[in-house]
Amino acid sequence: MSQPLRLGIAGLGTVGVGVVKIIRQHAAMLTARTGRDISISAVSARSKDKDRGVLLSGYAWEDDPVALATRDDVDVFVELMGGSDGPAKAATEAAIAAGKHVITANKAMLAMHGQALAEAAETAKVSLRYEAAVCGGIPVIKALTEGLAGNDITRVMGVMNGSCNYILTRMEDSGLNYQEIFAEADGLGYLEADPQLDVGGIDAAHKLAILSSIAFGTKVDFDGITLEGIERVSIEDITAAADMGYKIKLLGVAQMTGRGLEQRMQPCLVPASSPLGQLQGGTNMVVIEGDSIEQVVLRGPGAGMGPTASAVMADVCDIARGLNIPVFGVPADTLTTSQPAVSTAPAPYYLRMGLVDKPGALAKIATVLGEAGVSIDRMRQYGHADTAAPVLIVTHKTASASIENALQAMETTGVLAGAPVALRIEEL
């Protein structure tokens, strides 16, 4: 039997406690699967006296996570504090410099500093693993770096934030508006302390940046993502989309094009019958397309104690087995700097607008669309009780620039009762 693998855990919130529980409950199973005993030497958190529902007195305590990361009796530093900078980054850097392996669930830190950390870890010949940083319990990092390593990846897309998916599906199920369901989700504890990380799409974009790097061999480029949250999605949009056979999702898409790396995180319509369209509640889903496998769909819980701690333990087990692969699938010094690209690929679009109730209003809109080169596939006009007539249009495939030109031209027609809404329809 090899020497035990000794962990130092920084951060004893939901995930940290979950890791402690798994190690205690499944010690024999973990040893059988890895050939090594897995133990916890020391822990660190903001408060030593907080009741976390699990006994921690058997572990050494460090107030300073940097001190924890450099202890002689720690082989693997497990960073579960969060935050792109500050103590999490300092302790991670200290652990690598001290020759310790690192496991983190910190998507923000990797999205902002992944390249430098990867280079440092590979120079030190230690592992930096982060399965828990992307989509909770879904093994998408392992899928991309190992299971699909023989594929030229062509596209990665998915629903990567369970809180946003909960809000959008609850709006449809309940018929309540965004503000009401946002308050509900916040009250249930589904949102980050800064809710903008969730509803603004930032959390999901961090994940997309990491997946893009692995999939396309590029340096992590969070700033290159076209980003829009779900705040402007109305219950009218959700109801209208459902009426036309679609669901609205906060969808991340990354693909390499001849112009550069296209990365976008924004509300899109997807067919209601598709796997993404059927995704409910806080569940995540990642769709990976490659030249040999065509399409793989990974679905599972995107957060929570059990799923995220499970992902941490997958990395622990790999380190215990002696697996050490490049952080982003290929050596960090071979990752290329991508050229950010805005999508020019034609796609159908969903348009919703209110028109003033006067003759010729709809004809003016149709003329504007035609002059911009936008062809109408389907159109519906609903009855109305006030002065604005709701109109829905689904276009044929068209370039995003044509849609933008049409929207600008609509503002000059004098027939709009409010700002029109345009959402891309993603074909799967």
Q: For residue 366, count CB atoms less than 10 angstroms from its CB and return exposed for 0-12, middle for 13-18, buried for 19 or more.
A: middle
Distance CA 59, CA 250 (A): 41
CB 268 within 8 A of CB 256: no
| 169 token code pair | 């599906």
Q: How far apart are CA 109 and CA 83, in angstroms?
A: 6
Of 200, 331, 322, 214, the closest CA to residue 265 belongs to 200
Q: Residue 115 is which amino acid?
A: Q
Which H or E run contains 142? helix 140-142
Tell me how far apart the alpha carbons of residues 300 and 143 are, in angstroms, rounded to a whole number: 14
Query: How far is it, in rounded angstroms, from Cα 360 to Cα 366?
Result: 10
Coil, helix or strand for 313? Answer: helix
Burial 73-91 (b: 16+ CB within 10 A, else e): ebbbbbbbbbebeebbbeb
Active-site residue among 207, 219, 247, 249?
Answer: 207
Work out whether the CA dihedral 39, 210, 349, 237 comes out positive or negative: positive
Token representation of residue 188: 């249930």
Residue 98: name the closest of 64, 121, 119, 129 by CA.
Answer: 121
Distance CA 4, CA 37 (A): 5
Distance between CA atoms of residues 158 and 284, nearest Å: 8
- List for the chain the helix, strand, coil content (%; round to 5): 40, 25, 35
Q: List beta partners, residue 270.
A: 247
Look up 207 and say whether it is catalytic: yes
Query: How many Cα atoms are found within 13 Å in the side-chain-facing hemisphere of 127?
Result: 21
Listed as own residue / partner, the contacts of 185-192 with beta carbons closer than 8 Å and 24 or more positions apart are 190/162, 190/163, 190/166, 190/282, 191/163, 192/163
Separation in Å, CA 293 to CA 134, 155, 252: 22, 12, 20
Q: Which residues are catalytic?
A: 207
